[in-house]
Amino acid sequence: MPCSRAAFHIAAPFFVFHPEKTRGNAKKTGNPVFPPIDWIMIVKSSEFVTSAVKPEHYPEPVLPEIAFAGRSNVGKSSLINTLVNRKNLVKTSSTPGRTQLVNFFDVNKAFTFVDLPGYGYAKVPKKVQKSWGPMIETYLSTRETLKGVVLLLDIRRVPPGKEEMELMDWFDHFGIPAIIVLTKADKFSKQKMGKQHRLIAEAVNRSKDYLVPFSSKSRLGKEKLWARIDDLLETPEAPG
């Protein structure tokens, strides 16, 4: 039921019940693991809050937070823009290494999206490269309002890189819930996309259903991803 979802309460009235979508998506996915998508997200406001390197520069930990992680140029900033229906809320670039700080964005005054700097781009100066790992790790391990991470993998890359596999182990180890998104799905035909989806699911040892193919160009996967984000936002606080 849409009204029982915690994030619905957090973000109300921004999630709206959408019975036609429920029927359509349930039929299409036949998804036994995740609930059908029974609402659509209405983004009424999205705004840049601040950029930070160290925890003392992070905003006050008040609203629940979702972070976006992935290798440089994988499409993190574009994906956030797509989710919030903005062209340039987050700066994107065809030059990898564009996002070099931890950037915080408020959505609907209800929760925060965090664009993490992309890792693994050799042409960025060594000093900057070296600071990325600690910057990301410090954020992920200390942020008390972090509800989960969206990890972006390029759908063209089979198997995903060593860093991605390490990040997934790291999320598991620290009990950080993660959503895996396969970006740039528009680069393939539907059939090839399905094949890549299957191969990546095998490589990361997850069910196919767990991975969300996504395109910032066609907006494929947008509603499914919002539904997963909502699931993370409704995760209850850890006791103590």
Ligand X SMILES: Nc1nc2c(ncn2[C@@H]2O[C@H](COP(=O)(O)OP(=O)(O)OP(=O)(O)O)[C@@H](O)[C@H]2O)c(=O)[nH]1
Residues near ligand X (CB under 6 A) are 70, 72-78, 92-94, 96-99, 118, 183-184, 186-187, 215-217
Helices within 43-180 (DSSP H only): 76-83, 126-142, 162-174
Q: Judged by CB under 5 A, how many residues of this single chain contact Mg ion?
A: 4
Q: How far apart are CA 195 and CA 149, in angstroms?
A: 25
Q: Which residues contact 89 (CB under 8 A, 6 or more apart)?
A: 46, 47, 48, 80, 81, 105
Of residues 24 and 96, the one with the C-beta less far from ligand X: 96
- Provide, rounded to whole angstroms, the least separation between the CB of residue 76 and Mg ion: 5
Q: Which does 64 bind (CB under 5 to 8 A by kind): Mg ion, ligand X, none?
A: none
Residues 85-104 that bind Mg ion (CB under 5 A): 98-99
E-assigned strands of the chain?
15-17, 39-41, 46-52, 65-70, 102-107, 111-115, 146-154, 178-183, 211-213
DSSP 189: -
Q: Which residue is nearest to ligand X (CB)?
A: 118
For 165, half-sphere exposure in the C-beta direction (CA atoms, 13 angstrom radius) is 12
Amino acid at 232: L
For 239, half-sphere exposure in the C-beta direction (CA atoms, 13 angstrom radius) is 0
Residue from 15, 8, 17, 34 nearest 207 by CA: 34
Of residues 8 and 139, the one with the C-beta less far from Mg ion: 139
- Exactly one of 25, 73, 77, 108 binds Mg ion (CB under 5 A); that residue is 77
Of residues 14 and 105, the one with the C-beta less far from ligand X: 105
Q: Which does 72 bind (CB under 5 to 8 A by kind): Mg ion, ligand X, none?
A: ligand X
- Provide, rounded to whole angstroms, the least separation between the CB of residue 169 and ligand X: 21
- Provide, rounded to whole angstroms, the least separation between the CB of residue 119 and Mg ion: 11
73 binds Mg ion (CB under 5 A): no
DSSP states of 67-105 as a string? EEEEBTTSSHHHHHHHHTT-SSSS---SSS----SEEEE
- Provide, rounded to whole angstroms, the least separation between the CB of residue 179 and ligand X: 16
Of residues 76 and 184, the one with the C-beta less far from Mg ion: 76
78 binds Mg ion (CB under 5 A): no
Of residues 102 and 229, the one with the C-beta less far from ligand X: 102
Q: Which does 228 bind (CB under 5 to 8 A by kind): Mg ion, ligand X, none?
A: none
Residue from 25, 44, 71 nearest 225 by CA: 25
Binding interface with Mg ion (CB under 5 A) = 76-77, 98-99
